[in-house]
Chains A and B, each alone.
Chain A
Amino acid sequence: MVAQMSFEGTDWVEWICCTCERRIRLKDKKERGVKLMMLSGLIQILFFQSLGELISKLPLPSLPRPVIGLVLLLCWLMIKKEINPSLALVSEALSQYLGLLFVPAAVGVVLFLPQLKDNVFPIICGLIGSVVLTIGGSALALKLFNQGEASND
């Protein structure tokens, strides 16, 4: 009885140790996996970005170069009909800090400060007027088109 219990006891300990080890190994694998995934996602994005750069050398419509990459990647995703997890991971990381990425270029506004000062009134009116009209206009268009669609059915 005692022998059996102690045997069972060691068995338990061993079992716990084994699972712990396995868990640690699993966690390690997962972390390593995430790192590898980051890399492969970045490679995919850089690949499509470079492809876009290449195509922009052709005398095609004057799309901004990264947008060509974007469209190519979008087409690729539509063909494959799935987003691989590594791509999703990198895209999430990049879009989380999208705002930061255009700070350096936007700071260039310091070069235009005198001009901005001279044109304060038209700029404010233009921005506010345009945003209100755009939201209103597209909302009304959406409503009208939607009603048209519904009555066609």
Chain B
Amino acid sequence: MIKPHSIVEIWVYLSGSPLIALFISLVAYQIGLWAYQKTKHNPLVNPVAIAVILVATFIELIDMPYDKYFQGAQFIHFLLGSATVALAIPIYRGIGSLKNRVIPLMGALFIGGAISIASGVGISTLLGADKSIIGAFYSKSVTAPIAMGIAERMGTSPPLTAIFAVCTGILGAILAPYVLNLLRIKPWWQRGFPIGVASHGIGASRAFSINAEAGTYASLAMGLHGITGSIAIPLIYKLFN
């Protein structure tokens, strides 16, 4: 027979070790992935968004402070740096597609990046958002791992930035076909690249599911935006703050 207080002891032990944080993170992401596959890769059913909602709800329910959760989950978080470095491989592969289109692609990247910051920061400022919220708008069109690094360097909030980046990715993946049809953009590479500029990896995976050429250009845009953004965005932020 297990006495009730021994369960409490086990619980105290478990919640003190990193195990529970690791476990719930992995389970939540697995559920997210499963739902994403079940819905045939619908961008609305984003595995990261689902995982974040599940973990956040769970730690609220068991009254675990975020710091404590992060202490355990930092083992996952640590790999984020390595995964960011590893993004060099897909970027290198994509560079071949730059070919003789360097000027239009880089031009579109810079204009797109500028519009992304100007419109995001502009609209939220006009509508009277808090300063920390506006700060998270700066790097939201950059792929989330790099966006968080940029936010850390600028002193804005990395979690808010990550959430905004994921939301931007989801919105871009959903809205892009409508916008591009409205503007009558036909060639696949011209359709893919803007999706990558605006909505990074989530947009790129949506582009891949429609057309391989569009996907290649979208992930090229994501990589280039990641590198140029991490140079330019802190400078622009300094200029306005």
Q: A69-B84, A135-B195 are in contact. Are A127 and B73 (CB under 8 A)?
A: no
Interface assignment of A122: CB less than 8 Å from any CB of chain B: yes
Task: Report yes or no: B88 in contact with A102, Cβ–Cβ below 8 A.
Answer: no
A142 touches B123 (CB 8 A): no
Whether A55 sits at the interface, judged by CB under 8 Å, is: no
Contact indicator A95/B168 (Cβ below 8 Å): no
A122 to B183, Cβ gap below 8 A?
Answer: no
Check A58 for interface membership: any CB of B closer than 8 A: no
A91 close to B195 (CB less than 8 A): no
Q: From known contacts A107-B59, A110-B59, A127-B140, infer whether A135 and B179 are also in contact, taking CB-CB under 8 Å.
A: yes
Min C-beta distance of B20 to chain A, whole Å: 13
Q: Is the CB of A94 within 8 A of B83?
A: yes
Quick check: is A3 within 8 A (CB to CB) of the other chain?
A: no
Query: Roughly how many angstroms separate A118 CA and B82 CA in the complex, as a whole number?
Result: 36
The one of B55, B85, B112, B132 in contact with A52, judged by C-beta atoms closer than 8 angstroms, is B85
Are A77 and B179 closer than 8 Å at their CB atoms? no
Provide the residues of chain B in CB contact with A10, threshold 8 Å: none
> B108 contacts which chain A residues (CB < 8 A)?
138-139, 141-142, 145
CB of A133 to closest CB in B, whole Å: 4
Q: Which of B114-143 contact A (CB under 8 A)?
A: 115-116, 119-121, 123-124, 126-130, 132-133, 137, 140-141
Task: Pick the most buried of B74, B124, B141: most chain A CB atoms within 10 A of its CB.
Answer: B124
Q: Is A9 located at the chain interface by the 8 A CB criterion?
A: no
A38 within 8 A of B: no
Q: Is the CB of A126 within 8 A of B83?
A: no
Residues of B within 8 A of A78 (CB): 92, 95
Contact partner of A130 (CB less than 8 A), chosen from B116, B149, B162, is: B116
CB distance from A58 to the nearest CB of B (A): 14
Determine how close the nearest CB of chain B comes to the CB of A147; give it in whole angstroms. Answer: 9
Q: Main SS of the interface on chain B?
A: helix
Decide if A111 touches B145 in the complex (CB within 8 Å). Answer: no
For chain A residues 85-112, which have a beta carbon within 8 Å of chain B?
Answer: 87-88, 90-91, 94-95, 97-112
Residues of B150-191 whose CB lies within 8 A of A: 150, 152-153, 157-160, 162-164, 166-168, 171-172, 175-176, 179-180, 182-183, 185, 190-191
Total interface residues on B, using CB and 8 Å? 104
Q: Is the CB of A142 within 8 A of B190?
A: yes
Closest to A63 in B: B230
Flag whether A19 is at the interface (Cβ < 8 A).
no
Chain A residues with a Cβ closer than 8 Å to the other chain, count: 73
Is B227 an interface position by the 8 A CB rule?
A: yes
CB interface residues, A 48-104, toward B, < 8 Å: 48-49, 52, 61-67, 69-71, 73-74, 77-78, 83, 87-88, 90-91, 94-95, 97-104
Closest to B51 in A: A103
Shortest CB distance A78–B (Å): 7
Question: What residues on B are CB-neighbors of A106 within 8 Å?
Answer: 48, 52, 144, 159, 162-163, 166
* Chain A minimum-CB-distance residue to B25: A103
User: Contact at B116–A134, with CB atoms within 8 Å?
Assistant: yes
User: Quick one: which of A87, A99, A125 has the most chain B CB within 10 A?
Assistant: A99
Q: Which residues of B contact A73 (CB under 8 A)?
A: 85-86, 88-89
Interface residues, chain A, CB within 8 Å of chain B? 42, 45-46, 48-49, 52, 61-67, 69-71, 73-74, 77-78, 83, 87-88, 90-91, 94-95, 97-112, 115-116, 118-119, 121-123, 125-143, 145-146, 148-149
The 9 closest A-B pairs by CB, nearest first: A64-B149, A138-B112, A108-B159, A104-B73, A145-B104, A122-B127, A66-B84, A130-B120, A142-B108
